[in-house]
Amino acid sequence: MILTPRPFMKECEFDPGAHRYWGPGGEILPSVTTILKAEGISRYSNGPSVDSLMQIGTWVHDMVRMFERGTLDESALAVSMRGYLDSYRTWKAMAGIIPLVVEQPLFSPRWKFAGTPDILGALAVPEADVRFAVVDLKTGSLRAGDRIQVSGYMGLARECYEELEKEFMVGHVVYLRSDGGMPRVEQVDVLGMEEGLNLFRGALSLNRWKIVNK
């Protein structure tokens, strides 16, 4: 199955180095993760060790993206990365999710925010009327805000792809392991995804109000 992007997606620009998004006319758009962090829904520590963990996360995401696109040279991988790839393979074989879109920046003209879901996928075996899943890959520890993050990405997916506009979705937050073992997976059901999207939109509105009225 191929998802059809809306024409307005061509108007969004993304700088992966700065992790910054621009909409039509050069308007800077807040990201899903920026909003969740600003409103205290996702909390991150500071310090050199955290910077190192974030760098590992970036490398792992780059690796998975190349793996799914068929451009990964596995013989060139650092030993420390191979475990994460094995962990991803283990999850993928178990989950029955077929990646349709991998790390494609998305933005919402209506709600004025942006983000890059790790994976938008189809369920190999649909659950009732649910055919699609939003997947976010993690290399750190579990945070409650991670469940809201996949809901925010669902809002973007519905707006950016014709086939997803009216679809219910489930969420999978996958905590990959460096030893190659089966990752921990937090699954968010349909109700949780809808509640999370409402919470995210509330956080987005509150953040926008704070910026205007500071």
Structure-block tokens of residue 141 = 């520890």
Q: How does pLDDT run across 100-119, given as a tens digit for each residue?
A: 999 999 999 999 999 999 99
Q: How far apart are CA 132 and CA 67, in angstroms?
A: 21
SS3 18: coil
In this prediction the pTM is 0.94
CATH number at residue 203: 3.90.320
Please report whether residue 1 resides in a domain.
Answer: no
Residue 48 has what pLDDT?
Answer: 47
> Does residue 151 lie in a domain region?
yes
Total of domains in the chain: 1
Query: Binning pLDDT at 50, 70 and 90, where does residue 9 land?
Result: very high
Residue 108 near residue 155, CB atoms below 8 Å: yes
Range of the domain at 201: 7-212
In a domain, 120, yes or no: yes
Distance of CA 31 to the CA centre of its chain: 11
- Is residue 2 assigned to a domain? no
